[in-house]
Chains A and B, each alone.
Chain A
Amino acid sequence: MSIAKKSETKYRQTERKSKGAYKINHSIIEKAPFGVYVVNEKGSVDYVNSAMLKIFGSSYVKFKSLNMLNLPVYKKIGLTKKIKMGLKGKSFKIGPIKYSSYLGKKTIVGYFTGIPFKEADIRKLAVIVEDVTEFKQVKEVSRKDFKELERRIKEQNAKLVKSNASLKKEITEREKAEDALRENEERLKILLDSIQAGIIVIDIESRKIVNANPMATKIIGLPKEQIIGFTCYKFICASEAGKCPIIDFGQTMDNSECELIKADGSKIPIIKTATSVVINGRRQIVEIFIDITERKRMEQLQLDMVVGLRAVLAITDKLIASPDVDTLFRQAVELARDELRLERCAIFIEEEDHMVGTYGTDRYGSTVDEHAKRFLKDKAWIERLQVRSPQEPRWTAIKEPYIEWDGEKDIRAGKGWVAVTPIQSPYKIVGVFVNDTMMSHAALDPTKQDIVAVFCSILGHITERIGAAKEVEMLNKELLESNKQLKQLAELKSEFASTLSHELRTPLTAMKEGIDLVLDGSTGAVNKEQKEFLGIAKRNADRLGHLINNVLIFSKLTSYKGGLKMEMGSINELIESVTASYKLVAEKKGFYIYTQLEATDGFISGFDSDRISQVMTNLIDNAIKFTNKGSVGVFTAKDDKSNSVKVCVEDTGTGIRKNDISKLFQSFVQLRSRKGRKPGGTGLGLAICKEIIKQSGGKIWVESEFGKGSKFCFILPVKERRRV
C-alpha cells in the first residue's frame, strides 16, 4: 500500500468513524425510551428527543418555545430550582415525582436526571426524564390487592374484638361505677372540707352533733372529735334549747341570723340554714352557717360613715356663717372634738410654705397649739410626709419617729394622721388629727379618716368662701365710698354753679340799675348817641341776666335738690297762656302763631307748671327766632293707649341739619359749635327742656328738614284723669 493511499484510507476511516459515532449517538438518544432535552443558560431548549415530546405531551415546536426556567409545572415540583443549579454546574437526580404533563392532560410519575456540560464554553444542561407511570400503576394495583386483604383481616379482627368488647364492657362498667362512687364521695368530702361555710350534722333523736366539716371546727374553735357528741345548742341557738324550729315546731327548713358560741365562750354573728334530711334511714338535721362578723363590721362602718357625714353636715351648717377664718378654725376644732369625737384635733394653716396659724384642742378642752407648734418645728415636715400637691384630701399616717411630740408616743406608734385639703384660697389648711392615746385601736379607722378628710375639704371651701365674701365686701365698700364722693362732687358742682350765678346776678343788678338811672334822665339830660350806647349796654346786661338764669336753672335741675314741684293742672291752659304772650312778637316779624289743641279730657296731674311753661317758652322762642315767614303752630294730642299727651311746636323756619340734630339737646352745645351760633342763644335752652321733660317722666325729640322747618315734640304721661 502506498503511503498516499494509506494516509487517505486513514483519513476516510477517521471521518467515517467520527461521523458514524455521532450518528449512532444521536439516533440512540433520539430513539431512547427515556426523554432527553438540553437547556441552555437562558432556559430555552436547544435539543429535545421524541420520547420527551411524548412524555410531555407537546409538539416539537411548542416544546422548543418553552422556557424551562419558568415552567409552572416544573416550579410546582421544585424542578426549576434544580435546573438553575444544574446550569451552574451541579448535577442532580430527583424522583419519583408525580406531576402533570404539559397542559395537565395526564399525571405522570417520573425521574429527572440533570447532567451539566459545556458546549463551546457555554454551560448547558442535559435533562433525562424517565416516565415510570405505568410501572407505578402496576405497583398501585398490587397495593390495592394487599389493602383489600388487610381490610378483610381487620374486619375479621374487628368481629373478634367486638365480641370481646361486650365482655370487657361489662367488667369496665362495674369498675366505672365503683370509681364514680369513690369520686362522688371524694368530691363531696372536698366540697364539705373546702366550703367557706360551717356544716354540722345533728341527729334529731339525741340532738347530738354527729358530724362537722373543717370550717365548722374552725369557726367553733374545737377539733372535730371534740365537737361530735355535744348537743347542738352548745354552740348554735343556745338560748333556744327546746325551741328548735325543726325538731320542736316541725319545720323542714330554717333560715335565720343568730349567734354562735365559740369554744372560748365568745360570740360571733352567723347566718344559718338548717334542713331536715333522712340519711341511712335516720332523721338528721344538716346545719350550714356562715361567719358574718366581717359583714356586720362593714355594715357598722357604713352606719358610722353615715352618722359621721351627718355630723360633718351639721357642723358645716354652723361653720358656714363664720365671719372670718380665725373664728372658723376656732369653732372647727371645737366642733371636731365634740361632734366628730376627734379627741385631739389640730388645724394648721399654711401660706406659701409658711405656717401662718395653728388651732387645736383636745378632749380636756385645753389647747394643743403648743403641741402643734412643736410638731411643726421642722419646716420641711410636709415634704417629709409626702403630702405635697394634694388634689384631694389625703391621709398620710405618720409612721416615722422623726417628729417630736413631747410625752406622746402615738405618733411614733403610727397613730397620727394628716389630711391635706386641696384649697385654692390664700390658705392651705393642713389638718392634723391625732388619735387619743387611750384608745385601743392602733390608728384611726378608715371611716374616721374619710370623715375627717371630708371635713377638711369642707373647711377648705368655707375658707375660700370667706375670702371671696371679704373681697366682695371690700369692693362694695369702695364702691359706696366712691359713690358718696361722686354725689358730694355733684352737689358741690351744682352748689358752686348756683352760688356763682347768684354772685353774678348781684353786680349785674347794680349795672342794670346804673344804666337805667342814666337812661331815664334821673342824672340829667342824655343825648341821642348816649341813649343809643346805653341801650346797647342795657340790652346786653339783660341778655347776660337771662344767661345766668338759665345756668342757674340747669344746675338746679341736674342737682339732687332740684326736684320738680308736681301740681295738677291743664296743659292746654298753660300752652294757651304761653302762646298768647308771643302773638305780638310773631306779628311784628310778619307771621302768625296759632294753636290747635285737642281737649285733653280733664286734668293732667304730675307736672311742674313753671317748668313746663319754661319748656314751652323755650320752644316757641326758638321757633319764632328761626322763622322769618310762614307760621308757628302749637299742637296737643292725647294718646289713650300710652296714657300720655303729646305737645308739638312746629315752624316753617330754617330747619336743622341732620348731623346737628343729635347734638341739639346737649348742654352748651350752641356756645361751642363753630358755625351754629344763633342770635341770643345760651346753648342751654334745649338741654334744660330735655332735663325738665325727662324729670317729668316724658320724652322730647325733634323732626326737621333743613330749609323747610322744624317740629319739636314732647310727651308727658297722664297720671290721673278726671272729668270736668
Chain B
Amino acid sequence: MSKKILIVDDEEDVLAVLEKRVSGAGYQVIKANSGLDAVAKAKKELPDLIILDVLMPGMDGGDVASTLKQDDATKGIPIIFLSCLYTKKDETDEGHLIGENFFVSKPYKPDEFLDIIRDRLE
C-alpha cells in the first residue's frame, strides 16, 4: 500500500503543483491549506509524512509542528519544512536537518525533492 503524505501550503497554486508532483511519484496525497486544517487532518489521517510550508497566516508551520509533537499519536510523524526564507545554503537544493526538522528550500528541484521524501519515509 502506498504511503500517505499530508501536504500543507496556504497558496492554492503551490498546493496544486505539489500535489501533482507527490502523487505523480506514487504517494497518496492529503491536502491542507492552513495550519489549523493541517493539525486536524494529521490527527485524523495519521499520514506517514508531512510536507509543511513555514510561512502561513494564522497558525504557521512551526506552530503546526509543535502542536503535533505534543500528541503521542502524531509526534512520530516525520516533517519536511518547505521554506522560501531559508537562504543560508540555497545554492544547493538538498534538504538540511536543523535540530529534528528537515528543511527544503523553495523552489525545489523535483528529483532531489522526491529523493528527500523517500529518505524520510524509510
Size of the chain A interface, CB-CB below 8 angstroms: 11
* Interchain CB contact under 8 A, B57 and A675: yes
Give Cα A356 to B58, complex, Å: 75
Stretch at the interface among B12-20, B40-48, B66-74, B114-122: B12-20
Decide yes or no whether B60 CB sits under 8 A from chain A: yes
CB under 8 Å from chain A, chain B span 31-66:
55-58, 60
Give Cα A675 to B58, complex, Å: 6
* Interchain CB contact under 8 A, A674 and B60: yes
Give Cα A678 to B55, complex, Å: 11
Decide yes or no whether A194 CB sits under 8 A from chain B: no
* Interchain CB contact under 8 A, B13 and A677: no
* Interchain CB contact under 8 A, A532 and B16: yes
* Interchain CB contact under 8 A, A678 and B13: no
* Interchain CB contact under 8 A, A676 and B17: no
Decide yes or no whether A533 CB sits under 8 A from chain B: yes
* Interchain CB contact under 8 A, A536 and B60: no
Cross-interface CB contact of B55 among A533, A539, A677, A679, cutoff 8 Å: A677
Decide yes or no whether A540 CB sits under 8 A from chain B: yes
* Interchain CB contact under 8 A, B60 and A533: no
* Interchain CB contact under 8 A, A539 and B13: yes
CB-defined contacts of A539 to chain B, threshold 8 Å: 13
CB distance from B118 to the nearest CB of A (A): 23
Give Cα A676 to B60, complex, Å: 10
Cross-interface CB contact of A676 among B11, B16, B20, B57, cutoff 8 Å: B57
CB under 8 Å from chain A, chain B span 50-108:
55-58, 60
Give Cα A532 to B15, complex, Å: 13
CB-defined contacts of A678 to chain B, threshold 8 Å: 57
CB-defined contacts of B16 to chain A, threshold 8 Å: 532-533, 536
* Interchain CB contact under 8 A, B13 and A536: yes
CB distance from A581 to the nearest CB of B (A): 24
The residue on A at minimum CB distance from B63 is: A675
Give Cα A716 to B49, complex, Å: 55
* Interchain CB contact under 8 A, B57 and A533: no
* Interchain CB contact under 8 A, A677 and B56: yes
CB under 8 Å from chain B, chain A span 52-108:
none
CB-defined contacts of B11 to chain A, threshold 8 Å: 679
Give Cα A177 to B20, complex, Å: 153
* Interchain CB contact under 8 A, A540 and B13: yes
CB under 8 Å from chain B, chain A span 517-541:
532-533, 536, 539-540
Secondary structure call for the A interface? loop
CB under 8 Å from chain B, chain A span 667-695:
674-679
CB-defined contacts of A532 to chain B, threshold 8 Å: 16
Give Cα A540 to B55, complex, Å: 18
Give Cα A679 to B60, complex, Å: 15
CB-defined contacts of A533 to chain B, threshold 8 Å: 16-17, 20
Contact with B along A538-563 (1 / 0, CB 8 A): 01100000000000000000000000
Give Cα A155 to B104, complex, Å: 147
CB distance from B87 to the nearest CB of A (A): 13
Contact with B along A407-436 (1 / 0, CB 8 A): 000000000000000000000000000000
Give Cα A626 to B57, complex, Å: 13
Give Cα A536 to B11, complex, Å: 11
CB distance from A136 to the nearest CB of B (A): 128
Chain B CB within 10 A, most for which of A532, A675, A679: A675
CB distance from B114 to the nearest CB of A (A): 17
Give Cα A539 to B11, complex, Å: 12
CB-defined contacts of B56 to chain A, threshold 8 Å: 677
CB-defined contacts of B20 to chain A, threshold 8 Å: 533
CB distance from A674 to the nearest CB of B (A): 6
* Interchain CB contact under 8 A, B17 and A674: no
* Interchain CB contact under 8 A, A677 and B57: yes
CB-defined contacts of B17 to chain A, threshold 8 Å: 533, 536
CB under 8 Å from chain A, chain B span 1-25:
10-11, 13, 16-17, 20
CB distance from B9 to the nearest CB of A (A): 12
* Interchain CB contact under 8 A, B13 and A674: no
The residue on B at minimum CB distance from A680 is: B11
CB distance from B91 to the nearest CB of A (A): 18
CB distance from A676 to the nearest CB of B (A): 7
Give Cα A540 to B13, complex, Å: 8
CB distance from A540 to the nearest CB of B (A): 6
CB-defined contacts of A679 to chain B, threshold 8 Å: 11
The residue on A at minimum CB distance from B55 is: A677
The residue on B at minimum CB distance from A678 is: B57
* Interchain CB contact under 8 A, A675 and B13: no
CB-defined contacts of B55 to chain A, threshold 8 Å: 674, 677
Give Cα A679 to B16, complex, Å: 16
CB-defined contacts of B58 to chain A, threshold 8 Å: 675
Chain A CB within 10 A, most for which of B16, B20, B57, B60: B57
Give Cα A678 to B17, complex, Å: 20
CB-defined contacts of B10 to chain A, threshold 8 Å: 677
The residue on B at minimum CB distance from A539 is: B13
Give Cα A564 to B60, complex, Å: 40
CB under 8 Å from chain B, chain A span 634-688:
674-679
CB distance from A653 to the nearest CB of B (A): 14
Give Cα A348 to B56, complex, Å: 78
CB distance from A210 to the nearest CB of B (A): 125
CB-defined contacts of A536 to chain B, threshold 8 Å: 13, 16-17
CB distance from A504 to the nearest CB of B (A): 15
CB distance from A672 to the nearest CB of B (A): 9
CB distance from A629 to the nearest CB of B (A): 19
CB-defined contacts of B57 to chain A, threshold 8 Å: 675-678
The residue on B at minimum CB distance from A672 is: B85
Chain B CB within 10 A, most for which of A539, A540, A674: A674
CB-defined contacts of A540 to chain B, threshold 8 Å: 13
CB-defined contacts of A674 to chain B, threshold 8 Å: 55, 60
CB-defined contacts of A677 to chain B, threshold 8 Å: 10, 55-57
Give Cα A446 to B20, complex, Å: 108
The residue on A at minimum CB distance from B62 is: A674
CB-defined contacts of A675 to chain B, threshold 8 Å: 57-58, 60
The residue on A at minimum CB distance from B84 is: A671
Give Cα A533 to B60, complex, Å: 26
CB distance from B81 to the nearest CB of A (A): 14
Chain B CB within 10 A, most for which of A532, A536, A679: A536
Give Cα A692 to B64, complex, Å: 40
CB distance from B20 to the nearest CB of A (A): 7
Give Cα A536 to B20, complex, Å: 12
The residue on A at minimum CB distance from B54 is: A674
CB distance from A415 to the nearest CB of B (A): 84
Give Cα A678 to B57, complex, Å: 7
Give Cα A675 to B56, complex, Å: 6
Starting from the known contacts A536-B13, A675-B58, 11 additional A-B residue pairs (CB-CB under 8 Å) come to A532-B16, A533-B17, A533-B20, A536-B16, A540-B13, A674-B55, A676-B57, A677-B10, A677-B55, A678-B57, A679-B11
Residues of chain A touching chain B, judged by Cβ–Cβ distance below 8 Å, are 532-533, 536, 539-540, 674-679
What 9 A-B pairs are tightest by C-beta distance, nearest first? A536-B13, A677-B57, A677-B55, A536-B16, A675-B57, A540-B13, A536-B17, A675-B60, A539-B13
What are 16 A-B contacts with C-beta separation under 8 Å? A533-B17, A533-B20, A536-B13, A536-B16, A536-B17, A539-B13, A674-B55, A674-B60, A675-B57, A675-B58, A676-B57, A677-B10, A677-B55, A677-B56, A677-B57, A679-B11
